[in-house]
Amino acid sequence: MDITTRARRIRLAAFDIDGVMTDGGLTYTDDGHERKTFNVQDGLGIKLMQSAGIEVAIVTGRRSGVVAARAADLGISLVAQGVGDKFVSVQAMLDQLGLSWDECAFMGDDLIDLPALTRCGLAIAPANARDIVKSHVHVVTTASGGHGAVREAIELILAAQNKLDAAFAPFLAPR
């Protein structure tokens, strides 16, 4: 099955955080607080995807207040943190939404992501993913995690569903 056909089916897009929504770096302040940097263009892409009627989820192996804040900022209610088995977490989300694995896109970059990546309908990895992960996905973005990879994946899905022009239209309308 080709990428466009896979992308047309997507009703849930789930994303890892470290190495996907961020560049994978972890920064700690002197007082032990964690800091992460997110790409604002990825954030707008998530809002476009939500506006197009596609559910968005975060599934991450780490637990972080920063992730909870980013999810709240973007209106993402499907958030699973501190996950040891991402397959189980995504399955629970699919069950909650009444969707199948074929209707799910997952984007991950490392070994912990493989159980979900190898089951979902559209498996995506950022350019900075481990080679073993890249060898098991349908799409590898040209952008790296934290540098527009999420937006690239979202635009691919919206384009396949003929929703990209409608998503861009409000920004292109004459004033």
Residue ranges and CATH numbers for the domains of the chain are 3-163 (3.40.50.1000)
Distance CA 146, CA 73 (A): 17
Q: What residues pair up with 125 in beta bridges, in sequence order?
A: 140
Q: Which two tokens stand for residue 162?
A: 């003929």
Condensed to tens digits (0 to 9), the pLDDT of residues 20-44 reads: 999 998 888 888 888 889 999 999 9
Using DSSP, state whether 51 is helix, strand or coil.
helix
Packing angle of the helix pair 149-160, 40-51 (nearest 10 deg): 20
CB atoms within 10 A of CB 84: 8
Q: Which two tokens stand for residue 16?
A: 């890892």
pLDDT at 25: 87
Predicted TM-score (pTM) of this structure: 0.95
What is the pairing mode between strands 34-35 and 55-59?
unpaired
Query: Among candidates 12, 19, 121, which has minimal Cα distance to 61?
Result: 19
pLDDT at 35: 87
Those residues of the chain that have pLDDT short of 50 are none
pLDDT at 34: 84
What is the pairing mode between strands 12-15 and 104-107?
parallel
